[in-house]
């Protein structure tokens, strides 16, 4: 299984795969205990950062809807 990252509405970033590696700013790996699914906090409220502990419930709103990023180097579209 390739690694898949899912942006959850009103919640975390879910990472799924058989060979997940998460490292800190110094390149040191977090011990994931063989998990093939983890959730990364994106609200900043978790006491277990960078992992989600559910603290976002009722405090974080984002409707996750996919869109295309512009091609690198392409001129920006004017704001309407």
Q: Exposed/middle/buried for 71, CB within 10 Å: 0-12, 13-18, 19+?
A: exposed
Q: What is the pLDDT of residue 42?
A: 94
Global confidence as pTM: 0.80
Give Cβ neighbours of residue 10 (< 8 Å, ≥ 6 apart): 56, 60, 61, 62, 63
Instruction: Decide: helix, strand or coil at residue 80.
Output: coil
Q: What is the pLDDT of residue 74?
A: 80
Instruction: Decide: helix, strand or coil at residue 40.
Output: strand
Q: What is the pLDDT of residue 21?
A: 94
Write down the architecture of domain 1-65 according to CATH. Answer: 3-Layer(aba) Sandwich (3.40)
Q: What is the pLDDT of residue 1?
A: 67
Per-residue confidence in pLDDT tens, the chain, 80 aa: 689 999 999 999 999 999 999 999 999 999 999 999 999 999 999 999 999 999 999 898 999 999 999 999 887 777 66
Residue with tokens 């699914």: 37
């Amino acid at each position: 299984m390739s690694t898949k990252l899912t942006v959850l509405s009103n919640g975390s970033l879910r990472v799924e795969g058989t060979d997940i590696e998460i490292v800190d700013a110094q390149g040191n790996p977090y011990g994931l205990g063989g998990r093939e699914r983890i959730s990364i906090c994106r609200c900043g409220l978790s006491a277990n950062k960078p992992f989600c502990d559910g603290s976002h419930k009722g405090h974080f709103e984002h409707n996750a809807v996919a869109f295309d990023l512009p091609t690198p180097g392409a001129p920006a579209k004017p704001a309407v």
